[in-house]
Amino acid sequence: MSVKHTELDLEAATEQITAVYESADVTHSGEHATTVNQLTDQLPALQPRTLEAARALLSASGSFNVDKLAVEEDKGLPFGVLIAREYSLPLAVARWYTYEINADRQSAVDIDSEYFSGDLYLNGIEPGDAVAIVDDTISTGGTMIAMIKAIEKAGATVEEAHCIVEKTRKNGVDRVAEETGIEVTTSIAIEIEGNNVNVVDE
Ligand SMILES: O=P(O)(O)OC[C@H]1O[C@H](OP(=O)(O)OP(=O)(O)O)[C@H](O)[C@@H]1O
Ligand SMILES: Nc1ncnc2[nH]cnc12
């Protein structure tokens, strides 16, 4: 039985994360525009109130009435730790590198995300587990699709998936729904215009 405790109200949490994005720097590389900010890059340092706002938004997004929580390293990890602690869930972390042992080879799935194509390794998921996924951002949806594939490959099921921020123009939420049937929730929607980040209504 999971117990929710939200210390920050959701409006204040939304305002906090909105302020982070509205003052974020944007860096352009090829076709990619990346928002550099304290929430996803610890630049400037991630403030406790921002961490608490992120936790509150993720926590309110689902029931987390599951056996296990899954995140990807490294940007999903700070928030995964908070949600795992809040709901007393074991935490499985997907990594971009292999330990070259059998378990790792079996846990590999293809990933094709905004910034990376290759393999993703998710260990620690057992057959029959009911799993929730949390992450900081959804863009193309490639990371979320790889996470879902890895969990299903392990014989487990994805019950819920939540991201704090959605880069709406990349249509990741729709792509994940089409390819996996999983509806990813998001709390903040952003669009990048030149060197500005606009927080838009969902
Ligand atoms: O929807 P997508 O196109 O997959 O993009 C979203 C992913 O991109 C970021 O991770 P990043 O690739 O920067 O990896 P990191 O967390 O290891 O830094 C973010 O943390 C998401 O996991
Ligand atoms: N922090 C970030 N900013 C912009 N696009 C992203 N895609 C994935 N992470 C991102």
**Can you tell me the ipTM of this complex?**
0.91
What average pLDDT is seen over the chain? Answer: 94
Asked whether residue 63 is domain-assigned, the answer is: yes
Amino acid (1-letter code) at residue 98: T
Asked whether residue 92 is domain-assigned, the answer is: yes
> In angstroms, what CA-CA distances link 96 with 44, 72, 135?
25, 8, 15
Report the nearest atom of ligand 2 relative to the CA of 32: 5
Asked whether residue 173 is domain-assigned, the answer is: yes
Q: CATH code at 42?
A: 3.40.50.2020
Domain carrying residue 59: 10-200
Query: What is the rounded CA–CA span in Å between residue 105 and residue 31?
Result: 32
Distance 109 CA to ligand 2 centre (A): 21
Distance 166 CA to ligand 2 centre (A): 9
Which protein residues touch ligand 1 with a CB less than 6 Å away?
Answer: 72-76, 113-116, 135-143, 172
Asked whether residue 174 is domain-assigned, the answer is: yes
- pLDDT for residue 31: 84
Ligand minimally distant from the alpha carbon of residue 39: 2
Residue recorded with tokens 């987390």: 64
Asked whether residue 69 is domain-assigned, the answer is: yes
Query: What is the rounded CA–CA span in Å between residue 80 and residue 86?
Result: 10
Report the nearest atom of ligand 1 relative to the CA of 172: 1
Query: What is the rounded CA–CA span in Å between residue 54 and residue 8?
Result: 10
Per residue in 8-20, pLDDT (tens digit) is 799 999 999 999 9
Asked whether residue 3 is domain-assigned, the answer is: no
Tell me which residue of 65, 187, 194 sits closest to 136, measured CA to CA. Answer: 187
Asked whether residue 4 is domain-assigned, the answer is: no
Using pLDDT thresholds of 50, 70 and 90, give the confidence band for residue 3. very low
Ligand minimally distant from the alpha carbon of residue 116: 1
Per residue in 44-84, pLDDT (tens digit) is 999 999 999 999 999 999 999 999 999 999 999 999 999 99
Domain tally for the chain? 1
Task: Give the global pTM.
Answer: 0.94
The answer to whether the beta carbons of residues 26 and 34 sit under 8 Å apart is yes
